[in-house]
Structure 1
């Protein structure tokens, strides 16, 4: 294995370890108010999108298999947080969006979660490091979506 390949794998391992550590820390926070972190991920993804999404489109934003995401969305629909509507461009398709209650829940949890994220990252990283991390994450995400 070349030095560059070894470095790439070490960077990947470091990224995964940091992610796992932070997720455990955030999961322990008292901010979730009846939604799981995975459910919040779906609410957040829907809140960030300008228009309702098909399930396959939503799957691009969350780390779940399509069957698991489908079951999770079913639970959010049953709880009145997500709405299913017919796709106007394809009568067989369904689009997903937040209900007013879902938007309120996402904002409430999201505001508290954002404080926790900021506290965790600013305790460890300088402003320059935060900017670099943001740029690297955006670069990797953009490259992956274009492949």
Structure 2
């Protein structure tokens, strides 16, 4: 990779990283989470996006948490009745995490408020710029 391309790539990475870090801090500070942490909400959101159920190992990859940390988080959410653990029917040693009806309702409630915060965070961008940002991020992820 030529030096000027490398510098451009590093600048792009730094911009993406700063944006993500800034937004995550801002979102965590918002009063939208109904007593949940951002990580706990992310698990509910990811389960909702995955049809309401996921193997623990797959969920760990989706939410970028090591399995032991996720397991403790799942226990906290299960204690609140927001999800359950079930044996994996394909592998008796595995666990499937299932979003309960109260968990899905809480995710939708928080999700609506969180989406409004996301919209405010990106209000400086036009719809065309948002589409372009989405396209460029997807392209970078594909490699």
* TM-score of the pair, normalised by structure 1: 0.89
- Which residues of structure 2 form unaligned runs of 5+? none
Task: Mark the CA change 1:95 to 1:75 in structure 2 (over 3 Å): closer, same or farther.
Answer: same
Shift of 1:50: 2.4
Residues 49-68 of structure 1 aligned to structure 2 (within 5 Å): 49-50=50-51, 52-68=53-69
Moved over 6 A (4+): none
Name the SS of the counterpart of 1:93 in structure 2: strand
Distance 1:56 1:42 in 2: 13
> Would you say how many aligned residue pairs link Structure 1 and Structure 2?
142
RMSD, matched Cα: 1.6
Shift of 1:17: 0.4
Shift of 1:83: 1.1
Match of 2:128 in 1: 128
Match of 1:43 in 2: 44
Shift of 1:94: 1.0
Name the SS of the counterpart of 2:96 in structure 1: strand
Distance 2:49 2:115 in 1: 14
Distance 1:43 1:104 in 2: 10
Q: State yes or no: 1:114 paired with 2:139.
A: no
* TM-score of the pair, normalised by structure 2: 0.91
Name the SS of the counterpart of 1:95 in structure 2: strand
Residues 24-103 of structure 1 aligned to structure 2 (within 5 Å): 24-50=25-51, 52-103=53-104
Distance 2:67 2:4 in 1: 37
Distance 1:107 1:87 in 2: 26
Superposed CA deviations along residues 13-71 of structure 1, whole A, max 9, x for unmatched, are: 11010011111111121111111101001100000002521111112221322221121
- Which residues of structure 1 form unaligned runs of 5+? none
Distance 1:136 1:72 in 2: 33
